[in-house]
Structure 1
Amino acid sequence: MTDPVIVKHGSSPVILGFPHTGTHVPPEIEARLNENGRLLADTDWHVDRLYDGLLADATTVKATFHRYVIDANRDPSGASLYPGQNTTGLVPETDFDGKPIWNEGEEPTEADIAERIEAFHSPYHAALAAEIERVRREHGIAILYDCHSIRSHIPFLFEGKLPDFNIGTNLGVTSAPEFEAAAQSVVAHAPGYDHAVNGRFKGGWTTRHYGKPETGVHAIQMELAQSTHLTTEAPPFAYDEAKAEKLRSHLQDILERIERLSFSARM
């Protein structure tokens, strides 16, 4: 059985979360996906590769399971992150275009969802919470930087083109302002890119659940438009080396600035 989470322990105050890069779907669940669902189109394609090596001492916590199994960045209660807006749930019924992903009559039941919380969602968050606490004990501060990507055009979810960089701190609640400002400063001066702060993406459940600056835990979500690092935002969702290298320089700048600030903040 594939472990639901892979952890790499680091010595930095920065923790990188990867809830949506996993593509593992257990066979008994895959059999219930329809042809559209089996494309796994809503994966955060190559985001772990994009960040690989940018901050050598960062801790990484990576879900191996696909978000169609269960979404590690959704409230386990099933509450919506964006009430009144189109979104996908804890166990999605549709893809990001609003199209069904399950065979008719084989959609996940409440019992299925409960089993998947226990088998996948809970182990991922147990590991993430343990690393946050370990890092906070060691440094007096922990910075969770949650790594995401999404197609730049998804009419079902948002109008027009998504900005290249989307920083989310739930309107400043999940992070001290200096960490948000550090990330924004980099993207605002990145030539050829656009950005938004707390726009369509204000931070998912992970960011909102863990980001409590008063306790020394800060959380920022970075949602990247996939046009910034993929050859095409359609199958086979190939990684574009040239685009990615250009983007990686800005991402590294963000992480290094956040790390420097975290060392200053703990003194």
Structure 2
Amino acid sequence: MLIAPDFCHHPAFEVRAPQQQTVPFVFNSPHSGRYYPERFLSMTRLDANAVRRSEDFFVDELFGGATGQGAPMLLAHFPRAYLDVNREPYELDPRMFSDRLPAFANRQSIRVAGGLGTVPRVVSEGQHIYARRIGFDEARQRIETIYKPYHSTLRGLLAQTHRRFGHAVLVDCHSMPASIRIGAEGARPDFVVGDRFGTSASADISDRAASILRAMGYLVAANKPYAGGFITEHYGRPAKGLHAIQIEINRGLYVDEQTLARKPGFEALREDIDRFIRLLTDLPDELFADYSIAAE
């Protein structure tokens, strides 16, 4: 955890760009932020470890080799417990506010019901974040000054990539708890590749991502239990040459979820992800033939 006075004095997010973009890919790490504003920490009822339970620990570092492969990467510095950009702009839980929400707020989504809205009520293990209800203006300020600029930046990166190459692929990078199990036998997946069940990306892209990881010896699931969130759904438009996939990494591979310390296998996993990025971004243009719009 790093403590910042506020995001007027520390950037809320940043773009790490290669000297020259050479591949039609954009990487995004929206949940790995670990700068906690002092004012936010004064509002929470959780200790320094518990408030971090929603972080995608070190995912920005694991995928940091993307820029060396010629792809830009957008990453959050703000923590997910403070603001979740993988939600609609005003997906809010009325139970956590001291005043009425405006009519345009989405108060009834499944994510809101679970307390994991744009401004979350709980961390991922269900622990309440705030010691008392907060005002709507607190949420509005975070959404207007951080959420909207973040998405404006992401849209710009994808639009620039699409203009340059005629198509663009967004890779949304996340981590999942080690407790996740799939199938009747309760197998623990190492990775989950999500494409909103084939609606956010060409099957060629999501299948290639999964096959690369499987060839490395990892157990890979498709879409279950994570098919992709708001970002994957919102930006994935395959018919327009805009593809979006979500990659979830099992935290048990690389971090102790109690102490939040890196495991000895961290560097080996990072090297595997570097190789994964290199192989994934080396896609032939012919793969996009049915989707691409000629570059301007």
TM-score for both structures, normalised by structure 2: 0.79
What stretches of structure 2 of length at least 5 have no aligned partner?
A: 1-8, 92-105, 290-296
Specify the alignment match of 1:244 in structure 2: 266
Specify the alignment match of 1:211 in structure 2: 236
1:66 aligns with 2:79: yes
Deviations 1:90-139 (A, max 9, x none): 11111111111111x2x333322111101111111111111111111111
Rounded to whole Å, the distance in 1 between the matches of 2:187 and 2:164 is 41
1:50 aligns with 2:62: yes
Specify the alignment match of 1:234 in structure 2: 258
1:84, distance to aligned residue in structure 2 (A): 10
Specify the alignment match of 2:6 in structure 1: none
Rounded to whole Å, the distance in 2 between the matches of 1:257 and 1:178 is 13
Q: 1:83 to 1:32 in 2, by over 3 A?
A: closer
Aligned length: 258
Q: Choose from 84, 91, 95 the match for 2:119.
A: 91
Specify the alignment match of 2:129 in structure 1: 101
Specify the alignment match of 2:219 in structure 1: 194
1:7 aligns with 2:15: yes
Query: Quick check: 1:203–1:221 contact (8 Å CA) kept in 2?
Result: yes
Of structures 1 and 2, the larger Rg is shown by 2
Task: Work out the percentage of aligned pairs sharing the same amino acid.
Answer: 27
1:82, distance to aligned residue in structure 2 (A): 5.0
Aligned-residue CA RMSD (Å): 2.5
Query: Letter of the aligned partner of 1:166 in structure 2?
Result: V
Q: Greater CA deviation, 87-96 or 172-181?
A: 87-96
Specify the alignment match of 1:150 in structure 2: 176
Query: Quick check: 1:139–1:266 contact (8 Å CA) kept in 2?
Result: no
Specify the alignment match of 2:139 in structure 1: 113
Q: 1:72 to 1:84 in 2, by over 3 A?
A: closer
Query: Letter of the aligned partner of 2:32 in structure 1?
Result: T
Query: Quick check: 1:13–1:142 contact (8 Å CA) kept in 2?
Result: yes
Q: Greater CA deviation, 215-224 or 24-33?
A: 24-33
1:81, distance to aligned residue in structure 2 (A): 7.0
1:162, distance to aligned residue in structure 2 (A): 4.9
Q: 1:116 to 1:84 in 2, by over 3 A?
A: closer
TM-score for both structures, normalised by structure 1: 0.87
